[in-house]
């Protein structure tokens, strides 16, 4: 009689779709038991209304495909299940006799609720739930004020974080893994239906992105080797490839923040990057940590203004204006270029994100939640904490937010950060032949200049949806009215 296979342990690839520096994988491997690698597509999940947007689903498909290949190279496989996660994992544990489920802990409050429900469900069958850190540099409760309260302002939060010991060095994946050989039922990747079909709006994504751990590592190495030293000086120029573009890889855990942190630190030590350039980039990791701390301590952050007085802000309901913003047809070239880049590539340069967000909430007086929803659906790096914190920051209603009366002038922003117009010309090609002098303000060009450039406003390119000075005054008046009601 053949010996019964040893009871396995499950590695739930929850957020960290990688093999290296994956504490859940390492912890399960140390048990010496055969492993079951599993991913659960939970259409409801821990965030209820925040199901994966379309661009995130595209990325997830390709990330899971890459993880499947990596596991197969080691002699394993990736079991794909549909949620609810607690039910799927409890069933898998019961069917296989698994003694433990290993996963990354969620810094999101509703994720913690899911862990509690899963722990209770698994315990009925004698299965343990083991959670590890990994999604952040430090657990959310690790950085607090001297009074023991969570920080509401970024700069003191960042200074306090820097006083902590450096996060531990990243750990390589085990050289060899033993996998469970029993029968396992699994969905196919195609069964999960993550990719768009008709129309295939993601057709150009493949030209820009390489999802998966190997793509993340290649991008990290390219950034620290070629771009890090010029990051501080050029990060605000949307036509220059000077940002890391690691955000979607971090979002899906294809690279850990600890790997990024130490890769940047090592370039300071080697002298291949200046301290100032490296610290400017690490500060962005700090904003990511801060955003998760906000979400952890204030669970309503994605839907409700952090500053209570903004609950009564006189927002406008204007579906036509919202649609024109979404489609990149506002008549303001830097705004339209950003929105078209977003639609075509699933990503937008960070400086331009601030400009288009400010335009929506201040020039158009459309609620920040509408912009947040659009970004959630169209960004490959859509991240609940970062997305909500960034939109609240721009709208002036979040923690440590930009004052509401700071209203970006899209004309001046274009001239300052895209002075030659290379970014606008790429994404708004109908303006390609306009001189740089008029590119960010085409309605100010003389008729003969427009004729020479082949631009007829209202036909080839829209007239401005609003007049900037008038829109600015309207926004300030709305804010003044809000303050008078306090």
Segment 345-389, tens digit of pLDDT: 999 999 999 999 999 999 999 999 999 999 999 999 999 999 999
Q: Is residue 48 pLDDT above 70, yes or no?
A: no
Nearest to 18 by CA among 252, 187, 244, 179: 252
What is Dmax (Cα atoms) for the chain? 91
327 and 284 part of one domain: no
18 and 123 part of one domain: yes
Q: Which residues lie below 8 Å from residue 115, measured CB to CB, with a gap of 6+? A: 103, 105, 106, 129, 131
Q: Residue 318: inside a domain, yes or no?
A: yes
Q: Residue 288: inside a domain, yes or no?
A: yes
Work out whether the CA dihedral 328, 334, 339, 340 comes out positive or negative.
Answer: positive
Domain boundary among 274, 297, 320: 297
Q: Is residue 3 pLDDT above 50, yes or no?
A: no
Q: Which residues lie below 8 Å from residue 92, measured CB to CB, with a gap of 6+? A: 10, 36, 38, 79, 81, 98, 184
What percentage of residues in the chain have a pLDDT greater than 90?
84
Segment 337-349, tens digit of pLDDT: 999 999 999 999 9
Q: Residue 285: inside a domain, yes or no?
A: yes
287 and 359 part of one domain: no
Q: Residue 293: inside a domain, yes or no?
A: yes
Number of domains observed in the structure of the chain: 3
Average predicted confidence (pLDDT) for the chain: 93
Q: Is residue 69 pLDDT above 90, yes or no?
A: yes
pTM: 0.95
Q: Residue 147: inside a domain, yes or no?
A: no
Q: Which residue has the higher pLDDT, 127 or 272?
A: 127
129 and 211 part of one domain: no
Segment 30-44, tens digit of pLDDT: 999 999 999 999 986
Token look-up 């069964």 returns 191
pLDDT value of position 273? 65
Nearest to 305 by CA among 352, 254, 367, 217: 367
Mean per-residue pLDDT, 109-114: 86
Residue pair 285/137 in contact by the 8 Å Cβ criterion: yes
316 and 280 part of one domain: no
Strands across the sheet containing 128-132: 78-82, 35-41, 9-12, 100-104, 128-132
319 and 293 part of one domain: no
Domain boundary among 96, 112, 135: 135
Residue pair 392/368 in contact by the 8 Å Cβ criterion: yes
227 and 203 part of one domain: yes
pLDDT value of position 1? 29
Q: Residue 440: inside a domain, yes or no?
A: yes
314 and 288 part of one domain: no
Segment 131-156, tens digit of pLDDT: 998 899 999 889 999 999 999 999 99
Helix 333-345 with 368-378: angle, nearest 10 deg: 40
pLDDT value of position 272? 63
Domain boundary among 90, 110, 135: 135
Output phi, psi for 275, to 5 deg: -60, -40
Q: What is the DSSP letter of 53?
A: P
84 and 209 part of one domain: no
Nearest to 219 by CA among 238, 247, 239: 247
Segment 205-229, tens digit of pLDDT: 999 999 999 999 999 999 999 889 8
The CATH number given to whatever domain includes residue 267 is 1.25.40.80
Q: Residue 271: inside a domain, yes or no?
A: yes
293 and 313 part of one domain: no
pLDDT value of position 45? 52
Q: Tell me which residue range forms the domain holding 109.
A: 9-135
Tell me the CB-side half-sphere exposure of residue 57, using CA atoms within 13 A: 22
pLDDT value of position 402? 73
Q: Residue 173: inside a domain, yes or no?
A: no
Q: Tell me the C-alpha distance between 154 and 212, whole Å.
A: 31
The CATH number given to whatever domain includes residue 131 is 3.40.50.620
């Amino acid at each position: 009689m053949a010996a019964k296979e040893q009871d396995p342990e499950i590695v739930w690839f929850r957020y960290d779709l990688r093999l290296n520096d994956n504490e859940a994988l390492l912890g399960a491997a140390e048990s010496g038991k055969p492993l079951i690698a599993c991913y659960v597509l939970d259409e409801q999940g821990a965030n209820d209304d925040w199901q994966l947007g379309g661009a995130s689903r595209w990325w997830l498909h390709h990330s899971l495909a890459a993880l499947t290949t990596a596991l197969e190279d080691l002699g394993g496989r990736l079991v794909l299940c549909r949620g609810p996660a607690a039910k799927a994992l409890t069933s898998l544990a019961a069917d296989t006799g698994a003694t433990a489920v290993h996963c990354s802990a969620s810094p999101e409050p509703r994720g913690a609720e899911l862990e509690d429900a899963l722990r209770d469900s698994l315990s009925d069958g004698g299965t343990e739930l083991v959670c590890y850190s990994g999604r952040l540099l430090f657990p959310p409760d690790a950085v607090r004020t001297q009074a023991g309260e969570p920080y509401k302002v970024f700069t003191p939060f960042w200074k306090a974080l820097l006083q902590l010991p450096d996060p531990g060095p990243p750990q390589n994946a085990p050289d060899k893994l033993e996998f469970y050989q029993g029968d396992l039922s699994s969905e196919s990747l195609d069964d999960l239906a993550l990719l768009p079909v008709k129309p295939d709006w993601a057709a150009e994504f493949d030209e820009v992105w390489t999802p998966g751990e190997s793509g993340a590592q290649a991008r990290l190495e390219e950034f620290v080797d070629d771009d890090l030293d010029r990051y501080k000086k050029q990060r605000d120029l949307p036509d220059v490839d000077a940002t890391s573009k690691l955000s979607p890889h971090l979002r899906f855990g294809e690279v850990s923040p600890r790997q990024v942190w130490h890769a940047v630190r090592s370039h300071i030590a080697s002298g291949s990057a200046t301290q100032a350039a490296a610290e400017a980039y690490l500060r962005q990791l700090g904003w990511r940590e801060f955003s998760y701390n906000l979400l952890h301590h204030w669970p309503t952050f994605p839907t409700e203004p952090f500053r209570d007085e903004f609950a009564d802000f006189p927002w406008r309901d204007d579906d036509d204006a919202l649609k024109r913003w979404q489609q990149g047809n506002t008549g303001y070239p830097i705004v339209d270029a950003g929105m078209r880049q977003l639609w075509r590539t699933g990503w937008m340069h960070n400086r331009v994100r601030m400009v288009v967000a400010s335009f929506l909430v201040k020039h158009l007086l459309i609620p920040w939640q509408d912009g947040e929803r659009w970004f959630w659906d169209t960004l490959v790096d859509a991240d609940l904490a970062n997305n909500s914190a960034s939109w609240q920051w721009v709208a002036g209603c979040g923690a440590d937010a930009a004052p509401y009366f700071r209203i970006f002038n899209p004309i001046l922003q274009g001239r300052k950060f895209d002075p030659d117009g290379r970014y606008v010309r790429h994404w708004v090609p109908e303006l390609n032949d306009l001189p740089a002098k008029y590119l960010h303000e085409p309605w100010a060009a003389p008729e003969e200049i427009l004729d020479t450039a082949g631009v007829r406003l209202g036909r080839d390119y829209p007239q401005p949806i609003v007049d900037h000075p008038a829109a600015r005054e309207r926004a300030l008046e709305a804010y003044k009215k809000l303050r008078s009601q306090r």
